[in-house]
């Protein structure tokens, strides 16, 4: 059985929704990377939507949240997100 490795103490969350084609591209790419990413649908969970809005001022998805235990970094742009995840 193959298990995706947790990347040390860093937690990754992808803010997305189902009908977004840019999100679909990132979701497909997740199958190819060896990183655990929590999926946070901003349409089905308003807490996720408001967390992203409060932190970034934007509702644009996909958005990758990177939590290192102290700080959160928010990354937009599907291509940048995919490149980043593939580089881990
Ligand atoms: N260039 C961006 C486009 C992202 C984008 O346009 N996302 C749409 C959903 S498909 C969106 O969130 N629109 C609402 C908004 O930007 O507030 C990418 O590749 O990630």
* pLDDT block averages, 10 residues each, the chain of length 88: 61 98 98 95 98 98 96 97 96
Establish if 7 belongs to a structural domain. Answer: no
Tell me whether strands 37-41 and 11-16 are parallel, antiparallel or unpaired: parallel
Ligand 1 centroid–CA 46 distance in Å is 18
Q: How far apart are CA 68 and CA 73, in angstroms?
A: 9
Ligand 1 centroid–CA 61 distance in Å is 5
Ligand 1, CB cutoff 6 Å, lining residues: 20-22, 59-62, 77-78
Determine contact, residues 85/35, Cβ cutoff 8 Å: yes
The pLDDT of residue 5 is 54
Give how many domains the chain has, as a whole number: 1
**Ligand 1 atom with minimal separation from the 81 CA:** 20
Q: Bridge-partner residues for 40, per DSSP?
A: 15
φ, ψ of residue 28 to 5 degrees: the values are -65, -40
The pLDDT of residue 10 is 95
φ, ψ of residue 69 to 5 degrees: the values are 100, -25
Establish if 74 belongs to a structural domain. Answer: yes
Establish if 9 belongs to a structural domain. Answer: no
Q: Bridge-partner residues for 16, per DSSP?
A: 41
């Amino acid at each position: 059985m193959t298990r995706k490795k947790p990347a040390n103490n860093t937690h990754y969350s992808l803010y997305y929704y189902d009908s977004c084609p840019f999100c679909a591209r990132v979701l497909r790419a997740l199958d190819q990377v060896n990183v655990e990413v929590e999926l946070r649908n901003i349409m089905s969970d308003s807490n996720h939507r408001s967390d992203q809005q409060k932190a970034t001022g934007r509702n644009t998805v996909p958005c990758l949240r990177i939590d290192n235990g102290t700080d959160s970094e928010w990354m937009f742009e599907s291509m940048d997100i995919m490149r980043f995840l593939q580089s881990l």
